[in-house]
Amino acid sequence: MSIEVGILGYGNVGRGVEYAFGQNPDMHLAAVFTRRDPATVSVETAGVAVVSTEDIAAWTDKIDVLILCGGSATDLPKQTPQFTALFNTVDSFDTHANIPAHFAAVDAVARQAGKISVISCGWDPGMFSLARFYGDAVLPAGKSYTFWGKGISQGHSDAIRRIEGVLDARQYTVPVAEALAAVQRGECPELTTAQKHERECFVVAKPGADLEKIRESIVTMPNYFADYHTTVHFITEEELLRDHGEFPHGGAVIRSGVTGKDGEHRHTVEYKLTLDSNPEFTGSILLACARAAVRMQQEGQSGCRTLLDIPPVYLSARSREQLLKEFV
Amino acid sequence: MSIEVGILGYGNVGRGVEYAFGQNPDMHLAAVFTRRDPATVSVETAGVAVVSTEDIAAWTDKIDVLILCGGSATDLPKQTPQFTALFNTVDSFDTHANIPAHFAAVDAVARQAGKISVISCGWDPGMFSLARFYGDAVLPAGKSYTFWGKGISQGHSDAIRRIEGVLDARQYTVPVAEALAAVQRGECPELTTAQKHERECFVVAKPGADLEKIRESIVTMPNYFADYHTTVHFITEEELLRDHGEFPHGGAVIRSGVTGKDGEHRHTVEYKLTLDSNPEFTGSILLACARAAVRMQQEGQSGCRTLLDIPPVYLSARSREQLLKEFV
């Protein structure tokens, strides 16, 4: 019997989850819930109901888990507690500083409702959380580094778009090659986020706009760009669509630690992602976590979880026998 | 209250576990058990009992977990079931083909005795098992590769030492650079183990030995070398001790998979280890797994486990609060 799944929010991540069903035949997409008029939303998969979020309560017996694909700024802090009262839920909440508060809010509802909610299921937080965790657990004496990119940062792209004279923009976060190499060599340098990353901007200006003024506005923007080595390229709208229409991303978590009588032996653990599509990889992780959420709840567990709490086997459709034989 | 730990078998891995206690203050080494005359074994840590394996049954109330540091060929298949009848146990059983049988044998004893045994806790099997598992779980449509090295293979070094005229030898397993690069680029080539690795041998010959005959015996040896590109260097005993006295190792697990409507987006996940000391890194993992074993058994669980079964948080001494705040 397949696991019945709902998706709430049909943007890039929601579509990424939808595509992942093709690779997870034990899971079945039953419905997409939307705050828009359902008649205006057309999903890729045949036979999937498109339902107004207002009618979601009628689906408590029809789906085993709801995957929340909204944003971390305003959607998820409200939605995840709200819908965990009715369903097992999974989200990709990614505002790192607010994870403990989000966890506490969701945990209270989940325990009360007898549901499982797995939060922060993406690649960072998510797979990178696991990499940071395992690196520290097996090498307690050491230093960890997280590098992001090369990839598009939505927040930084938006910040550029708000500048006067800008029509559209894409911002790539790029690891500083020398910083990355020093960490990979186990040199354990002290590095700020700005020393680890540089920013490359592709900007489409409005006709007649002052390019030098736009460039200056970008590179001096506090928090976003001022502390970073920032490069600005002006391109045409056609070039933007042709060369920067996808959502690549990636990065690396590197743990460098020592063992031995006097810490004389050094070890480096590197977990590296190179992603053609940030939202589709995130969607694939969300679906694996949805499987785990249902299994845990069916065992009688309740409460909030992160990937650090989940026995790995719960994430996979494979049998324990196959895992022991082919993966251990 | 610290977790009381025993080590059975005081070779390179046993000493690696011993060193790891300095970085894990919640764990305490209570005793080293040995099949040798305890009077002939001197351990590094002050105040640790050295006890004959024959007297181990007297320690059931004094230690919470026993870490088995014997070999996979003959020691562990016997020892892990035997001592799991008395203690929670952890081993680094690494004969991949026999893991299901070893698991079954240990599981039966553990359930009967109400103990937890975590088997195959090293880096392969162990951390590489996790990397293979998670890569497949989040990218079900794809292909996985395991590369070993550059590092010393004990089995291959031993095979060379058995050749007539050889005084001592070290064999390094080295990933084939072009094969590794093709996999990292996401090209998903079909590769045998021999196409992924080459073998570099450092040999000390006995005085007057026929070097060409030794070289020929190595490169034509079935299973071990015949299928591989193998290089043989003859060196002096001094050079061997000076340049090849350590146990470096490492390798990489790479998952290359696709997502999207038609699998049009490719993703590469790489987990890479560079280790100065294979036995010390293995010892550090064993100690983290020992912590998890005790916690699971204290919860009332029993049976055999691998790293794929363990909720990550059980491996770490850190609090859930700190993990949520700093690692997720």
Q: What is the pLDDT of residues B226-272, one digit of tens each?
A: 999 999 999 999 999 999 999 999 999 999 999 999 999 999 999 99
Residues of chain A found within 8 Å of residue B276, distances taken between Cβ atoms: 259, 265-267
Query: For chain A, how far is it from start to end, CA to CA, in angstroms?
Result: 27
d(CA A7, CA A18): 8
d(CA A39, CA B183): 45
pLDDT mean across residues, chain B: 97
- Measured between alpha carbons, how far is residue B234 from residues A282, B86, B106, B164, B243 in Å? 52, 49, 44, 14, 13
What tokens appear for B200 in the block?
């570099």
Residue among A63, A321, A308, A155 at smallest CA distance from B313: A308
In the A/B pair of chains, how many CB contacts fall below 8 A? 201
Domain at B3-124+279-322: CATH architecture = 3-Layer(aba) Sandwich (3.40)
Q: Where along chain B do the CATH 3.40.50.720 domains lie? A: 3-124+279-322
Residue B204's pLDDT is 98
Contact yes or no for B328 and A129 at CB 8 A: yes
Burial of A317: CB neighbours in 10 Å, binned 0-12, 13-18, 19+: middle
**Is the pLDDT at B1 greater than 90, yes or no?**
no
- Are the C-beta atoms of residues B198 and B172 closer than 8 Å to each other? no
* A292 φ, ψ (degrees, to nearest 5): -65, -40
Q: To probe the interface with A, which of B99, B107, B261, B328 has the most A CB atoms within 10 Å?
A: B328
Quote the minimal CA–CA distance from A201 to chain B in Å. Answer: 23
What tokens appear for B234 in the block?
């003859």
What tokens appear for B206 in the block?
């006995």
Burial of A40: CB neighbours in 10 Å, binned 0-12, 13-18, 19+: exposed
Residue among B99, B115, B68, B139 at smallest CA distance from B293: B115
Nearest-by-CA chain B residue for A185: B274
Contact yes or no for B277 and A288 at CB 8 A: no
What tokens appear for B155 in the block?
């089995």
- Are the C-beta atoms of residues B201 and B232 closer than 8 Å to each other? yes
- Measured between alpha carbons, how far is residue A46 from residues A29, A307, B261 in Å? 10, 31, 13
Q: Which of B137, B277, B312 sits opposite A308 (nearest CB)?
A: B312
Q: Where along chain B do the CATH 3.30.360.10 domains lie? A: 142-262
Give just the sign of the alpha carbon dihedral B40, B41, B44, B47.
negative
Q: Which of B137, B266, B274 sits opposite A268 (nearest CB)?
A: B274
Residue among A139, A32, A105, A93 at smallest CA distance from A289: A93
d(CA A310, CA B142): 23
Q: Which of B281, B308, B318 sits opposite A312 (nearest CB)?
A: B308
d(CA B102, CA B106): 6
Domain at B142-262: CATH architecture = 2-Layer Sandwich (3.30)
Residues of chain A found within 8 Å of residue B281, distances taken between Cβ atoms: 138-139, 259, 267
Residues of chain A found within 8 Å of residue B260, distances taken between Cβ atoms: 19, 277, 280
Residue B215's pLDDT is 98
- Residue owning tokens 């290359």: B256
Share of chain B above pLDDT 70, in %: 100
Share of chain B above pLDDT 90, in %: 98
Q: How confident is the model at residue B319 (pLDDT cuts 50, 70, 90)?
A: very high
Contact yes or no for B309 and A307 at CB 8 A: no
Residues of chain A found within 8 Å of residue B16, distances taken between Cβ atoms: 259
Quote the minimal CA–CA distance from A215 to chain B in Å. Answer: 32
ipTM of the complex: 0.96
Contact yes or no for B312 and A133 at CB 8 A: yes
Give just the sign of the alpha carbon dihedral B158, B159, B160, B166.
positive
Residue among B101, B82, B102 at smallest CA distance from B92: B102
Contact yes or no for A140 and B324 at CB 8 A: no
d(CA A97, CA A165): 33
Contact yes or no for A271 and B273 at CB 8 A: no
Residue A1's pLDDT is 80
- Are the C-beta atoms of residues B126 and B286 closer than 8 Å to each other? no
Residue A154's pLDDT is 87
**3-state secondary structure labels for all residues of chain A:** CCEEEEEECCCHHHHHHHHHHHHCCCEEEEEEEECCCHHHCCCCCCCCEEEEHHHHHHHCCCCCEEEECCCCCCHHHHHHHHHHCCCEEEECCCCHHHHHHHHHHHHHHHHHHCCEEECCCEECCEHHHHHHHHHHHHCCCEEEEEEECCEECHHHHHHHHCCCCEEEEEEEEEECHHHHHHHHCCCCCCCCHHHHEEEEEEEEECCCCCHHHHHHHHHCCCCCCCCCCEEEEECCHHHHHHHCCCCCEEEEEEEEEEECCCCCEEEEEEEEEEECCHHHHHHHHHHHHHHHHHHHHHCCCCEEECHHHCCHHHHCCCCHHHHHHHHC
Residues of chain A found within 8 Å of residue B246, distances taken between Cβ atoms: 265
Residue A305's pLDDT is 98
Quote the minimal CA–CA distance from A284 to chain B in Å. Answer: 6
Q: Which of A136, A316, A327 sits opposite B327 (nearest CB)?
A: A136
Nearest-by-CA chain A residue for B25: A140
B174 pairs with which residues across the strands? B198
Q: Which of B19, B267, B272 sits opposite A281 (nearest CB)?
A: B267
Give just the sign of the alpha carbon dihedral B53, B111, B320, A283.
positive
d(CA A261, CA B280): 10
Contact yes or no for B259 and A307 at CB 8 A: no
Length of chain B: 328
Residues of chain A found within 8 Å of residue B128, distances taken between Cβ atoms: none
Give the contacts of B300 (CB within 8 A, at least 6 positions apart): none
Q: Which of B96, B127, B246 sits opposite A134 (nearest CB)?
A: B127
Contact yes or no for B261 and A44 at CB 8 A: yes
Residue among B283, B304, B282, B309 at smallest CA distance from B27: B283
- Are the C-beta atoms of residues A247 and A279 closer than 8 Å to each other? yes
Task: Give the side-chain half-sphere CA count within 13 A for A243.
Answer: 16
Nearest-by-CA chain B residue for A92: B328
Per-residue pLDDT for chain A (328 aa), expressed as one digit of tens each?
A: 899 999 999 999 999 999 999 999 999 999 999 999 999 999 999 999 999 999 999 999 999 999 999 999 999 999 999 999 999 999 999 999 999 999 999 999 999 999 999 999 999 999 999 999 999 999 999 999 999 999 999 889 999 999 999 999 999 999 999 999 999 999 999 999 999 999 999 999 999 999 999 999 999 999 899 999 999 999 999 999 999 999 999 999 999 999 999 999 999 999 999 999 999 999 999 999 999 999 999 999 999 999 999 999 999 999 999 999 999 9
Q: Which parts of chain B are beta strand (E)?
A: 3-8, 27-34, 49-52, 65-68, 88-91, 116-118, 142-148, 151-152, 166-175, 197-205, 229-234, 249-259, 265-275, 303-305
Q: How confident is the model at residue B154 (pLDDT cuts 50, 70, 90)?
A: confident
Quote the minimal CA–CA distance from A216 to chain B in Å. Answer: 35
B275 pairs with which residues across the strands? A267, B249
DSSP 8-class letter at B123: B
Contact yes or no for B134 and A127 at CB 8 A: yes
